[in-house]
Amino acid sequence: MMKALFQRLVHRAGNLIDPERPAEGPPPDTLRPFMAWALQGGWTVIWVGVAISVAAGITEVASMYLLGLVVDAVAAPATDAGFLGSYGWLIAGAMALLLIARPLLFGGLALTQAVMIGPNIFKLVLARLYRWTIDQSVSFFDNDFAGRVAQKKMQAARSLTEIVVESVNAVTFGLATVAGTAVLLGAISPWLLLFLALWFALYLSFLRVMLPLIRARSARRAEAQAMVTGQVVDTISNIKTVKLFAGGAQEDRMALGAMSELRDKTMHFGEAQTAFRLGLIFIAGLLPVVMVGAAIAMRAGGVTPGDIAAVGAVTIRLAQMTGWISFTLMVIYGHLGEVEDGMVTLSVPHDLTDAPDAAELQVTDGEIRYDHVEFTYGGESGGALGIDLTIAPGEKLAIVGASGAGKSTLVALLLRLYDAEGGAVRIDGQNVSQVTQESLRRQIGMVTQETAMFNRSAMDNIRYGRPDATDAEVIAAARRAEADAFIRELRDGAGRQGYEAHLGERGVKLSGGQRQRIALARAILKDAPILVLDEATSALDSEVEAAIQEALTRVMEGKTVLAIAHRLSTISSMDRIIVMDAGQIVEEGTHEDLLEAGGLYARYWERQSGGFLGDDAPQEAAE
């Protein structure tokens, strides 16, 4: 029964806040407002913890006060009522405090930290940082290590949780104990209170000098740690390239360089820690020596043996707590540095957001228009220069050009992975920058040459195209993409088979052709009115490609299609072909028209080897 009661108490305590509650507004870029933003909705349990911690601190001082009363009672002359008759109330009070109140308060404090605050605050903060980061534009992730960004999120959430837990556990408890001690010493002698105030001023001065130094060095250590994580994750993510190019030694040098930087920053942090601890040992030892000596010196002024015992006990306890609390403060300031370091990366404002009055995209026909669209990746190479293009509803348009010509830029602007720097992209007359990003991308299916898979089951990877699809619908889509046969043969390291087998990080357990077939199945299942194909069959052998092309032909019926192609044989039957060069459309027409014109497309066709378009232009920024 007691176990069931305890479990119910733990369950209720753990559900006092909603750790999935969204934050209000963007994260600020200064430390205190950032922490307040991250902790919205969590203050109820924090204040409960503070109240229990204060009560526990006062209980500590009350215990020392009762000790002094017991000493005075023992030293007092005997009375006719006897010791228990005269001081039974004192013994009962001491037992109630030490055996009931103190265990309940410290147990409640432990429950608050381990169940109410720790797990919930960590999830609350991490979920908010995750949501804010995942809504960043593609360019945010293009400019940073994936591992570094992930490390910053975990680091900030973990550190902020530790700050809250330790503030409730040690700092609040310590301040309550100091306040209670001041009241006790003031009641014994105002001189003792003065000595405590002078000592506390020395203690705070020392903290004020050392803690900012520790915070700054902790932030530099956190940045170095994130760089090590980013470097290691980057290497592991590209391990096949490392192996193929015998790049182990080069990666080793880069990793060791980052690790050496982390070692240096950690040593600098350790130097500050050591100086901090040595100073604290001296300051903590000073307190009981001065206070007990002063109490003894005032013995003639009415200070009782019990008072001296209480002063000695409370100051020794306070001196012990000083080391504990100061170490905790050092840890808190270290975590503040890590939160501040994470904040710099994670509080970056979104550079691509929905308009305040953004509506849901409504696709009725599927017409796509580029109205004098300009985009140059912030002045870098590649892009689109003055594109005027209309794709009729249901039209199948192929986009051809050498690498760097601007093909993928057109697709990226359609999907609003970037905002056009000039002009507008419209779908059925609706400017894509004025509709919600989610509704826009729901209406576009896409299969790319570089197909990424999640380390989840084959079933989940295909269902990503339409999360509410049934298993039967997923399997039907896989069959249409010629993927069903090899999926049924899959087996992972955990013994899962077929559609339940996990595919490994980024689908590493599959061949390129297998990944593209799963991506095709995903697009087939999504069944969006607009379909984008970026060399969707490039990784397939000729026999499978023929089958897939037939499936694609059926899938494209009734849809508006944009197909980027290097293998010109795959797009010769499209309704229209445009040829791009240096960000501009230089030719357009049917396959036959373009061959007859004898221009750039005809030259591509003539020199095509193995069915692929040669790459003789600069690498395109978006590809």
Whether 395 contacts 521, CB under 8 Å: no
Which element (helix H / strand E) includes 585?
strand 584-589
pLDDT tier at 415, thresholds 50, 70, 90: very high
Whether 46 and 125 map to the same domain: the answer is yes
247/365: higher pLDDT = 365
| Listed range (57-71, 233-247, 290-304, 609-623) with the worst mean pLDDT | 609-623
Q: What is the pLDDT of residue 321?
A: 77
Whether 157 and 62 map to the same domain: the answer is yes
pLDDT tier at 620, thresholds 50, 70, 90: very low
Quick check: is 355 in a domain?
no
Whether 604 contacts 614, CB under 8 Å: yes
Does 16 score more than 50 pLDDT? yes
Q: What digits encode the pLDDT tens for the residues 578-598? A: 999 989 999 999 999 999 999
Rg (CA), the chain: 35
| Listed range (152-161, 375-384, 386-395, 485-494) with the worst mean pLDDT | 375-384
Q: Which residues does 470 contact at the CB level (< 8 Å), separation at least 6?
A: none
Whether 160 and 305 map to the same domain: the answer is yes
The bridge status of strand 396-400 relative to strand 384-391 is: unpaired
Does 101 score more than 90 pLDDT? no
Q: What is the pLDDT of residue 544?
A: 64
Q: What is the CATH number of the domain that holds 548?
A: 3.40.50.300
Whether 310 and 368 map to the same domain: the answer is no
Q: Which residues of 585-612 are buried (b: 16+ CB within 10 A; e: fewer)?
A: bebbbebeebeeeeebbeebbeeeeeee
Dihedral of the alpha carbons of 36, 42, 44, 46, in degrees to the nearest 10: -80
Whole-angstrom distance, CA of residue 259 vs CA of residue 257:
5
Whole-angstrom distance, CA of residue 59 vs CA of residue 106:
10
Q: What is the pLDDT of residue 3?
A: 63
Q: What digits encode the pLDDT tens for the residues 336-392? A: 888 988 898 899 998 889 999 999 999 999 999 999 999 987 666 668 889 999 999
Whether 426 contacts 440, CB under 8 Å: no
Measured at the CA of 50, the angle between CA 46 and CA 53, to 5 degrees, comes to 135
Whether 485 and 549 map to the same domain: the answer is no
Mean pLDDT across the chain, nearest whole number? 83
Count of CB atoms situated within 10 Å of the CB of 289? 11
Q: Measured on CA atoms in the order 355, 357, 363, 367, is the torsion positive or negative? A: negative
Q: What is the pLDDT of residue 615?
A: 45
Q: What is the pLDDT of residue 500?
A: 95
Whether 71 and 161 map to the same domain: the answer is yes
Whole-angstrom distance, CA of residue 48 vs CA of residue 30:
27
Q: What are the start-end ranges of the H helices in 41-172? A: 43-75, 82-96, 102-111, 118-134, 138-142, 146-166
Distances (CA, A) of 344 to 179, 330, 339: 37, 22, 9
* Containing structural domain, residue 479: 453-527
Per-range mean pLDDT, top range of 178-192, 304-318, 438-452, 457-471: 457-471
pLDDT tier at 39, thresholds 50, 70, 90: very high
Q: Which residues of 177-189 are buried (b: 16+ CB within 10 A; e: fewer)?
A: bbebbbebbeebb
Quick check: is 73 in a domain?
yes
Whole-angstrom distance, CA of residue 546 vs CA of residue 482:
11
Quick check: is 381 in a domain?
yes
Does 250 score more than 60 pLDDT? yes
Whether 102 and 228 map to the same domain: the answer is yes
Mean pLDDT of 240-245: 76
Q: What digits encode the pLDDT tens for the residues 252-284? A: 888 899 999 999 999 998 888 888 888 888 887
Q: What is the pLDDT of residue 617?
A: 39
Chain position carrying tokens 């978006």: 622
User: Cβ-count burial of 403 within 10 angstroms (0-12 exposed, 13-18 middle, 19+ buried)?
Assistant: middle
Single residue among 281, 316, 346 that ends a domain in this structure: 346
Does 473 score more than 90 pLDDT? yes
Dihedral of the alpha carbons of 334, 335, 341, 345, in degrees to the nearest 10: 170
Does 194 score more than 50 pLDDT? yes
Which element (helix H / strand E) includes 562?
strand 560-564
Whole-angstrom distance, CA of residue 131 vs CA of residue 37:
13
Q: What is the CATH number of the domain that holds 285?
A: 1.20.1560.10
Whether 204 and 251 map to the same domain: the answer is yes
Measured at the CA of 462, the angle between CA 457 and CA 467, to 5 degrees, comes to 100
Does 568 score more than 50 pLDDT? yes
Whether 318 and 404 map to the same domain: the answer is no
Please provide residue 386's backbone torsions phi and psi, each rounded to the nearest 5 degrees: 65, 45
Whole-angstrom distance, CA of residue 234 vs CA of residue 242:
11
Q: What is the pLDDT of residue 619?
A: 37
Whole-angstrom distance, CA of residue 540 vs CA of residue 550:
13
Q: What is the pLDDT of residue 98?
A: 82
Q: Which residues does 435 contact at the CB level (< 8 Å), separation at least 6?
A: 358, 359, 360, 361
Q: What is the pLDDT of residue 470?
A: 95
Q: What is the tally of structural domains in the chain?
A: 3
Whole-angstrom distance, CA of residue 441 vs CA of residue 446:
9
Single residue among 483, 498, 527 that ends a domain in this structure: 527
Measured at the CA of 39, the angle between CA 33 and CA 41, to 5 degrees, comes to 125
Does 54 score more than 80 pLDDT? yes
Quick check: is 614 in a domain?
yes
pLDDT tier at 614, thresholds 50, 70, 90: very low
pLDDT tier at 308, thresholds 50, 70, 90: confident
Single residue among 527, 556, 582 that ends a domain in this structure: 527
Whole-angstrom distance, CA of residue 501 vs CA of residue 480:
20
Which element (helix H / strand E) includes 99?
none
- Region of residue 63 (left: phi > 0; alpha: psi -120 to 50; beta: else): alpha
Quick check: is 228 in a domain?
yes
Does 488 score more than 50 pLDDT? yes
Distances (CA, A) of 45 to 9, 31, 126: 14, 22, 17
Which residues face 425 on adjacent strands? 370
| Listed range (259-263, 294-298, 319-323, 524-528) with the worst mean pLDDT | 294-298
Quick check: is 11 in a domain?
no
Whether 53 and 136 map to the same domain: the answer is yes
Q: How many residues does the chain have?
A: 623
Whole-angstrom distance, CA of residue 102 vs CA of residue 63:
9
Mean pLDDT of 241-246: 78
Whole-angstrom distance, CA of residue 539 vs CA of residue 47:
59
Quick check: is 356 in a domain?
no
Whether 537 and 514 map to the same domain: the answer is no
Distances (CA, A) of 260 to 215, 228, 242, 401: 21, 9, 22, 46
pLDDT tier at 475, thresholds 50, 70, 90: very high
Quick check: is 399 in a domain?
yes
Q: Which residues does 244 contact at the CB level (< 8 Å), separation at least 6?
A: none
pLDDT tier at 616, thresholds 50, 70, 90: very low
Q: Which residues of 370-396 are buried (b: 16+ CB within 10 A; e: fewer)?
A: beebebbbeeeebbbbebebebebbbb
Please provide residue 580's backbone torsions phi and psi, each rounded to the nearest 5 degrees: -110, 150
Which residues face 146 on adjacent strands? none
pLDDT tier at 577, thresholds 50, 70, 90: very high
Mean pLDDT of 443-468: 88
Whole-angstrom distance, CA of residue 556 vs CA of residue 395:
9
Mean pLDDT of 53-72: 81
Please provide residue 398's backbone torsions phi and psi, each rounded to the nearest 5 degrees: -105, 140
Whether 542 and 517 map to the same domain: the answer is no
Which residues face 534 on adjacent strands? 564
Secondary-structure percent of the chain, ordered helix, strand, coil, rounded to 5: 65, 10, 25
Does 326 score more than 80 pLDDT? no
